[in-house]
Amino acid sequence: MRLASKIQLFLLIILMIVIASCKKPKQFPDIPSIEYQNFTSIYNPDLDIYDRGVLHFTFEDGDGDIGLNSGDTLPPFNASSDYHYNLIITYFEMQNGEIKEVPILWFNPQTEQYDTLTLSARIPNLTPDGINKAISGDIFDTLFIYNFNSIYDTIKFDAYIIDRALNESNTISTPLIIR
Protein backbone atom coordinates (compact mmCIF):
# COMPACT_ATOMS: atom_id res chain seq x y z
CA MET A 1 0.00 0.00 0.00
CA ARG A 2 2.86 2.34 0.72
CA LEU A 3 4.16 1.79 -2.79
CA ALA A 4 0.80 2.80 -4.26
CA SER A 5 0.83 6.02 -2.19
CA LYS A 6 4.34 6.84 -3.35
CA ILE A 7 3.35 6.25 -6.98
CA GLN A 8 0.27 8.47 -6.57
CA LEU A 9 2.38 11.19 -4.95
CA PHE A 10 4.96 10.90 -7.74
CA LEU A 11 2.25 11.14 -10.43
CA LEU A 12 0.69 14.13 -8.65
CA ILE A 13 4.05 15.92 -8.59
CA ILE A 14 4.61 15.16 -12.30
CA LEU A 15 1.10 16.44 -13.11
CA MET A 16 1.75 19.66 -11.15
CA ILE A 17 5.03 20.23 -12.99
CA VAL A 18 3.35 19.70 -16.36
CA ILE A 19 0.51 22.09 -15.51
CA ALA A 20 2.91 24.72 -14.15
CA SER A 21 5.09 24.51 -17.24
CA CYS A 22 2.21 25.05 -19.67
CA LYS A 23 2.50 28.50 -21.15
CA LYS A 24 -0.73 30.38 -21.69
CA PRO A 25 -1.04 31.86 -25.17
CA LYS A 26 -0.71 35.62 -25.45
CA GLN A 27 -3.98 37.45 -25.75
CA PHE A 28 -4.41 40.84 -27.42
CA PRO A 29 -7.49 42.70 -28.67
CA ASP A 30 -8.54 41.90 -32.26
CA ILE A 31 -8.07 45.55 -33.21
CA PRO A 32 -4.37 46.08 -33.95
CA SER A 33 -2.31 48.31 -31.71
CA ILE A 34 1.02 49.95 -32.59
CA GLU A 35 3.67 51.75 -30.56
CA TYR A 36 6.33 54.13 -31.90
CA GLN A 37 9.91 53.02 -31.17
CA ASN A 38 12.23 55.32 -33.14
CA PHE A 39 13.13 56.96 -36.42
CA THR A 40 16.65 56.78 -37.85
CA SER A 41 17.69 59.17 -40.62
CA ILE A 42 19.99 57.80 -43.34
CA TYR A 43 22.66 60.00 -44.89
CA ASN A 44 23.25 59.81 -48.65
CA PRO A 45 26.88 60.84 -49.30
CA ASP A 46 26.32 61.07 -53.07
CA LEU A 47 23.70 63.79 -52.58
CA ASP A 48 25.17 65.13 -49.31
CA ILE A 49 21.73 65.01 -47.65
CA TYR A 50 19.66 62.84 -45.35
CA ASP A 51 17.25 61.53 -47.97
CA ARG A 52 15.72 58.46 -46.27
CA GLY A 53 14.85 57.27 -42.81
CA VAL A 54 13.67 54.10 -41.09
CA LEU A 55 10.49 54.19 -39.03
CA HIS A 56 10.46 51.48 -36.35
CA PHE A 57 7.30 50.55 -34.46
CA THR A 58 5.93 47.51 -32.65
CA PHE A 59 2.49 45.96 -33.14
CA GLU A 60 0.06 43.57 -31.46
CA ASP A 61 -3.05 41.92 -32.90
CA GLY A 62 -5.27 39.34 -31.22
CA ASP A 63 -6.52 37.52 -34.31
CA GLY A 64 -3.28 37.81 -36.29
CA ASP A 65 -4.84 39.14 -39.47
CA ILE A 66 -2.03 41.58 -40.16
CA GLY A 67 -0.72 41.84 -43.70
CA LEU A 68 -1.80 41.07 -47.22
CA ASN A 69 -0.83 38.40 -49.74
CA SER A 70 0.41 39.53 -53.15
CA GLY A 71 -2.81 38.13 -54.63
CA ASP A 72 -5.00 40.31 -52.41
CA THR A 73 -5.99 42.67 -55.22
CA LEU A 74 -9.76 42.23 -55.31
CA PRO A 75 -12.09 44.57 -53.38
CA PRO A 76 -11.62 45.83 -50.78
CA PHE A 77 -7.86 45.58 -51.42
CA ASN A 78 -7.88 46.65 -55.08
CA ALA A 79 -5.52 49.43 -56.22
CA SER A 80 -8.19 52.16 -56.23
CA SER A 81 -9.46 51.29 -52.74
CA ASP A 82 -8.62 53.04 -49.48
CA TYR A 83 -7.57 49.57 -48.23
CA HIS A 84 -5.04 48.74 -50.96
CA TYR A 85 -2.30 49.78 -48.53
CA ASN A 86 -2.37 48.49 -44.97
CA LEU A 87 0.42 50.69 -43.60
CA ILE A 88 -0.75 54.27 -43.95
CA ILE A 89 1.92 56.97 -43.73
CA THR A 90 1.24 60.71 -43.74
CA TYR A 91 4.02 63.27 -44.31
CA PHE A 92 4.06 66.65 -42.56
CA GLU A 93 6.33 69.68 -42.75
CA MET A 94 6.75 72.52 -40.31
CA GLN A 95 6.00 75.62 -42.35
CA ASN A 96 6.31 78.99 -40.64
CA GLY A 97 5.87 77.39 -37.21
CA GLU A 98 2.84 75.27 -38.19
CA ILE A 99 2.76 71.52 -38.88
CA LYS A 100 1.03 70.94 -42.24
CA GLU A 101 0.27 67.77 -44.20
CA VAL A 102 2.09 68.09 -47.51
CA PRO A 103 2.05 65.85 -50.60
CA ILE A 104 5.48 64.86 -51.89
CA LEU A 105 5.62 65.42 -55.63
CA TRP A 106 8.03 63.74 -58.03
CA PHE A 107 8.47 64.24 -61.73
CA ASN A 108 7.31 61.27 -63.80
CA PRO A 109 9.41 61.25 -67.00
CA GLN A 110 6.92 58.94 -68.76
CA THR A 111 3.98 61.32 -68.37
CA GLU A 112 6.14 64.46 -68.12
CA GLN A 113 4.02 65.55 -65.17
CA TYR A 114 4.35 65.65 -61.41
CA ASP A 115 2.76 62.77 -59.51
CA THR A 116 2.10 62.43 -55.80
CA LEU A 117 4.50 60.00 -54.14
CA THR A 118 2.78 57.65 -51.72
CA LEU A 119 4.65 56.65 -48.59
CA SER A 120 2.01 54.08 -47.63
CA ALA A 121 2.88 50.41 -48.11
CA ARG A 122 1.52 46.87 -48.12
CA ILE A 123 2.71 44.82 -45.15
CA PRO A 124 3.04 41.16 -46.22
CA ASN A 125 0.83 38.54 -44.55
CA LEU A 126 2.17 37.89 -41.04
CA THR A 127 -0.55 35.50 -39.79
CA PRO A 128 1.09 32.74 -37.73
CA ASP A 129 0.36 29.05 -38.20
CA GLY A 130 -1.43 27.14 -35.46
CA ILE A 131 -4.50 27.65 -33.33
CA ASN A 132 -3.38 30.77 -31.44
CA LYS A 133 -3.24 33.57 -34.01
CA ALA A 134 -2.28 36.37 -31.61
CA ILE A 135 0.77 38.13 -32.99
CA SER A 136 3.21 40.82 -31.94
CA GLY A 137 6.41 42.06 -33.48
CA ASP A 138 8.45 44.88 -34.97
CA ILE A 139 8.00 46.66 -38.28
CA PHE A 140 10.72 48.72 -39.95
CA ASP A 141 9.73 50.87 -42.93
CA THR A 142 12.18 52.92 -45.00
CA LEU A 143 10.74 56.28 -46.03
CA PHE A 144 11.92 59.09 -48.25
CA ILE A 145 12.33 62.17 -46.08
CA TYR A 146 13.72 64.69 -48.52
CA ASN A 147 11.14 66.72 -50.39
CA PHE A 148 13.08 68.26 -53.28
CA ASN A 149 10.22 70.69 -53.90
CA SER A 150 10.30 72.17 -50.40
CA ILE A 151 12.44 74.77 -48.66
CA TYR A 152 11.42 73.50 -45.20
CA ASP A 153 13.73 71.24 -43.22
CA THR A 154 11.58 70.03 -40.30
CA ILE A 155 9.21 67.12 -40.89
CA LYS A 156 7.28 64.40 -39.10
CA PHE A 157 5.24 61.34 -40.00
CA ASP A 158 2.00 59.80 -38.74
CA ALA A 159 1.36 56.09 -39.26
CA TYR A 160 -1.29 53.46 -38.61
CA ILE A 161 -2.00 49.93 -39.83
CA ILE A 162 -5.16 48.23 -41.09
CA ASP A 163 -5.80 44.51 -40.62
CA ARG A 164 -7.64 42.26 -43.09
CA ALA A 165 -10.91 42.76 -41.19
CA LEU A 166 -10.40 46.49 -41.96
CA ASN A 167 -9.80 47.39 -38.31
CA GLU A 168 -7.58 50.45 -38.02
CA SER A 169 -4.95 50.66 -35.30
CA ASN A 170 -4.19 53.72 -33.27
CA THR A 171 -2.08 56.39 -34.99
CA ILE A 172 1.52 57.00 -33.98
CA SER A 173 3.58 60.11 -34.68
CA THR A 174 7.29 60.61 -34.98
CA PRO A 175 8.86 63.49 -33.14
CA LEU A 176 9.95 66.41 -35.31
CA ILE A 177 12.79 65.37 -37.63
CA ILE A 178 15.30 67.86 -39.00
CA ARG A 179 16.54 66.63 -42.35
Residues, the chain: 179
Segments forming the whole domain that contains residue 35: 26-178
Report the alpha-carbon distance of residue 176 to residue 179 in Å, rounded.
10
Whether 42 is covered by a domain: the verdict is yes
Give the model's pLDDT for residue 6.
64
Distances (CA, A) of 136 to 101, 113, 140, 148, 163: 30, 41, 14, 36, 13
Whether 3 is covered by a domain: the verdict is no
Give the CATH number, domain containing residue 30.
2.60.40
Lowest pLDDT segment from 20-24, 54-58, 162-166:
20-24
Whether 14 is covered by a domain: the verdict is no
Given a cut of 90, is residue 109 above it in pLDDT?
no
Mean pLDDT in residue range 105-110 = 84
Whether 122 is covered by a domain: the verdict is yes
Whether 1 is covered by a domain: the verdict is no
Whether 8 is covered by a domain: the verdict is no
β-strand pairing of 49-61 with 135-144: antiparallel
Q: What domain count does the chain have?
A: 1
Q: What is the pLDDT of residues 62-95, one digit of tens each?
A: 999 999 999 999 999 999 999 999 999 999 999 9
Mean pLDDT taken over the chain: 89
Whether 45 is covered by a domain: the verdict is yes
Give the model's pLDDT for residue 23.
63
In this prediction the pTM is: 0.83
